[in-house]
Amino acid sequence: MDLIEFTKKFPDEESCKTHFKALRDAQAKKCPHCQGTAFYWKNDKEVYECKECHYRMSLKKGTVMEHSKFTFREWYIVFHLMSSTKQAISASEMQRQLGKKYYRGVWEMMQKIRDVMGQRDGKYKLKEMVEVDEMMFSTDTEKEDDEPNKRGMGSQSQTKVLVMAESSEISPEDGDKVRRHTINKKVGHIRMKVIKDMRAATITEAATAVIDSGSGVVTDGCRSHTQFKDVFAGHEAYVEHDKREVVTKKLPWVHVVAGRCKKSIEGVHDEVKRKFLQFYLDEFCYKFNRRYFNDMFDRLLLAASSCVPVFRHGYGKSASV
């Protein structure tokens, strides 16, 4: 959806609220009080009322907007900008676009949406052949937890990330679009997970949470991957001395997507702290995984209207990203 279409479809608060209510009406809802599933809509109060126990809940309850003071239209604008732009958008840019005085609320709003994106991708597992490798991402050190960092004053540290990408050999049926690519494999879905260390147990746990056990995994055969043969249907480990050969022929996509993701994060967001890196990775992967869809706004809205973020107000007070 382009900007013209967006402003036509959602010119004001009422149009956004009506649209959001239609989404909520169509979804299964559960009363948090008695677990009832049948509701009346009380038009005067703009709440759903449980038919059993008369518990009332707002339109925003049980969605990404729960507890939010932002208007529906402000949320819709953020959904639109986060789903329609190819590059990531910084919270300060979003603050400017919304004309908001305070940065923090806008930043939290965006983190909640990234959180929902991650939860959505978490519903699916990577399948068939999956490239797996560990990468280092630059993050800000966290020792200043109680004091917001001054821009440029934080010191950099490296955070380990497990990068996983479905990849397969290119077949003639893929057509010219794929074949013209310089890489000899094609990529499917991707995921990235922050990991605390490189121990085999840590990496196996992270990989099995994301990759279907019936899949085959492709790695550079380092010691952290020793358990893969026990938990996946297959494990191709390439331990050739020519590291570059392995990267370009066997593990091209984990390196390509990690490179793009780093560039995107470093180019847009200043000083991402380790504890928030996962949210930015989730946004990158979510958008990458839907790169061929032109209804990303609708998809994002559907996810956001049925999912409560783990991210809460006040989470990591000192964040200066």
Give yes or no for residue 36 binding Zn ion (CB under 5 A).
Answer: yes
The interface region with Zn ion, picked from 43-51, 188-196, 237-245, 309-317 by CB under 5 A, is 43-51
Q: Which CB contacts under 8 angstroms, 24+ apart, belong to 195-200?
A: 195/134, 195/160, 195/161, 195/162, 196/160, 197/160, 198/134, 198/160, 198/224, 199/224, 200/224, 200/225, 200/226, 200/227
Residues whose CB falls within 8 Å of the CB of residue 66, separated by 6 or more in sequence, listed in order:
60, 308
Say whether 87 sits in a helix, a strand or coil: coil
Phi then psi for 259, rounded to 5 degrees?
-60, -45
| Minimum separation from the CB atom of position 47 to Zn ion (A) | 12
| Minimum separation from the CB atom of position 302 to Zn ion (A) | 25
Give yes or no for residue 313 binding Zn ion (CB under 5 A).
Answer: no
Phi then psi for 227, rounded to 5 degrees?
-90, -5
User: Would you tell me how many other CB atoms lie within 10 Å of the CB of residue 68?
Assistant: 17
* Contacting residue, 9, 17, 23, 52, with Zn ion by CB under 5 A: 52
The interface region with Zn ion, picked from 24-32, 119-127, 134-142, 199-207 by CB under 5 A, is 24-32
The interface region with Zn ion, picked from 46-54, 226-234, 254-262, 270-278 by CB under 5 A, is 46-54
Tokens representing residue 33 in the block: 């009080």
The interface region with Zn ion, picked from 55-63, 119-127, 256-264, 306-314 by CB under 5 A, is 55-63
Residue 37 to residue 42: CA distance in whole angstroms:
16
Give yes or no for residue 33 binding Zn ion (CB under 5 A).
Answer: yes
* Contacting residue, 3, 22, 26, 34, with Zn ion by CB under 5 A: 34
Closer residue to Zn ion in complex, CB, 40/124: 40
Give yes or no for residue 238 binding Zn ion (CB under 5 A).
Answer: no
183: left (phi over 0), alpha (psi -120 to 50) or beta: beta
User: Would you tell me how many other CB atoms lie within 10 Å of the CB of residue 243?
Assistant: 12
| Minimum separation from the CB atom of position 56 to Zn ion (A) | 9
| Minimum separation from the CB atom of position 31 to Zn ion (A) | 3
Give yes or no for residue 53 binding Zn ion (CB under 5 A).
Answer: yes
Residues whose CB falls within 8 Å of the CB of residue 129, separated by 6 or more in sequence, listed in order:
166, 167, 168, 215, 216, 217, 218
Q: Lay out the site mask for Zn ion across 78-117 (x = CB under 5 A, - = otherwise).
A: ----------------------------------------
* Contacting residue, 50, 77, 110, 254, with Zn ion by CB under 5 A: 50
* Contacting residue, 55, 103, 238, 315, with Zn ion by CB under 5 A: 55
Question: In the complex, which residues of this chain contact Zn ion (CB under 5 A)?
Answer: 31, 33-34, 36, 50, 52-53, 55
